[in-house]
Homo-oligomer: A and B are copies of this chain.
Amino acid sequence: MASSKTIALDAMGGDYGPEVVVPGAALSLERHPALQFIFFGVQERIAAALEAHPSLRARSRIVHTDLVIAMDEKPSQALRRGKGTSMWLALDAVKQGQAHASVSAGNTGALMAIAKLLLRPIPGIERPAIAALWPTVRSECIVLDVGANIGATSSQLADFSLMGAAMARAVFHVERPSVGLLNVGTEEVKGNEDVRAAHALLKSAADLPLEYKGFVEGDQIGQGAVDVVVVEGFAGNIALKTAEGTARQIGAYLKGAMTSSLVTKLGALLARGGFTVLKEKMDPRRVNGGTFLGLNGIAVKSHGGTDAYGFASAVDLAYEMADSDLISRLSADVEVFHHKLEGAGLSQNPLSAGSAHGKA
């Protein structure tokens, strides 16, 4: 499609603000020349950063605000006093239809709370989720929820499947993405009630815009067994961070091993092309960007500590999601699915069932 899309950027979010956000946007613009940007934040700092990027400057406008949400601010506090901050304004631009998507490297909890308030969940979706791109030996997959909520009912897990599939269509360009439920085993008796009931729901629902593959285990994520891995947010967040930690741990092992003698050092020097390939494969900036799925608008979250290269990946993601008509397709999918469930008497709306789950 490659149509012109406008991205609203929280220029003050993350550890570095405009000094990373602006060059990040410039990098993404090189890849998607039809992009346009609205930067929200401190006018002088953004303008100064834009000096070095004239072609970006030509496709950008700045909306000034001095107000910023701190990285350690509580979500409740951010909701109370967040109005007028760079994060709030960027999300509001999506709500007002001035931008097709927003990106922020700011405080995750605050971003989640404000995005939910301004963009509202898609009708039928009780809980938005945070989806992460996860590198696999084949390419990438999507894992959700990685921490928006703690716990999920069976119907919420089924909704996550639809949401993840919609994102996979946008990002991987697969019409019927494969979906697996993360569990402690692949037999039907495994897991808790919610997971087993979600399995039954997904298995029985014909004509879903996805290919349901059943249960997958933790070691199958990185093998690329499915395009979308669905899990409630407590285990999902732990899985994501455990994988990140394991990658760092092995990196440390590797460094230690390659500097253990003069000969290994020499060999490592010769093989440095290979290590560069490995480093690129393992580069967390390459797949930077979590997304809040299930809202009436696209809100991408970049890592707070990333650089311009990483921020550009998050902007790319926002662009692809905006360009794929994700939200209207997802809304339609959800409506059809919930309608079918109701028809089949399978609806498990937890609001009516009174199932209690703690929130993150």
Chain A, range 233-272, C-beta contacts under 8 Å to B: 233-235, 237-250, 252-254, 256-261, 263-272
Inside 8 A of A241's CB, which chain B residues have their CB? Answer: 217-219
Count of chain copies: 2
Known pairs A247-B246, A266-B270; A360 contacts B190 (CB<8 A): yes
Inside 8 A of A193's CB, which chain B residues have their CB? Answer: 358
Assess the A270–B270 pair: CB atoms within 8 A. yes
Assess the A244–B219 pair: CB atoms within 8 A. yes
A237 to B360 alpha-carbon distance, docked (Å) = 21
Inside 8 A of A137's CB, which chain B residues have their CB? Answer: 249, 252-253
- Report if A278 contacts B (CB, 8 A): yes
Question: Nearest chain B CB to A252's CB is how many angstroms away?
Answer: 5
Assess the A238–B231 pair: CB atoms within 8 A. yes
A156 to B222 alpha-carbon distance, docked (Å) = 31
Question: Nearest chain B CB to A189's CB is how many angstroms away?
Answer: 8
Contact with B along A93-117 (1 / 0, CB 8 A): 0000000000000000000000000
Question: Nearest chain B CB to A329's CB is how many angstroms away?
Answer: 30
Known pairs A192-B151, A243-B246, A261-B273; A237 contacts B267 (CB<8 A): no
Inside 8 A of A245's CB, which chain B residues have their CB? Answer: 218-223, 243
Assess the A238–B218 pair: CB atoms within 8 A. yes
Question: Nearest chain B CB to A360's CB is how many angstroms away?
Answer: 7
Assess the A274–B268 pair: CB atoms within 8 A. yes
Assess the A184–B237 pair: CB atoms within 8 A. yes
A267 to B151 alpha-carbon distance, docked (Å) = 48
Question: Nearest chain B CB to A49's CB is how many angstroms away?
Answer: 31
- Report if A150 contacts B (CB, 8 A): yes
Inside 8 A of A203's CB, which chain B residues have their CB? Answer: none
A residues sitting closer than 8 Å to B (CB atoms) are 74, 135-137, 147, 150-151, 182, 184, 189-193, 217-223, 231, 233-235, 237-250, 252-254, 256-261, 263-275, 277-278, 281-282, 357-358, 360
List 21 A-B residue pairs with CB atoms under 8 Å apart, sorted by A's residue number: A150-B184, A184-B233, A184-B234, A184-B360, A192-B234, A192-B358, A217-B238, A219-B245, A222-B249, A235-B235, A239-B242, A242-B242, A243-B243, A243-B245, A257-B278, A259-B274, A261-B274, A267-B268, A267-B270, A267-B271, A268-B271
Q: What 9 additional pairs, Cβ within 8 angstroms, besides A190-B360, A223-B249, A246-B246? A: A136-B249, A137-B249, A222-B249, A223-B248, A246-B247, A260-B274, A264-B270, A264-B274, A266-B267
Which 10 residue pairs are nearest across A and B when measured between Cβ atoms?
A267-B271, A267-B270, A218-B241, A219-B245, A264-B274, A218-B242, A222-B249, A257-B274, A257-B277, A235-B235
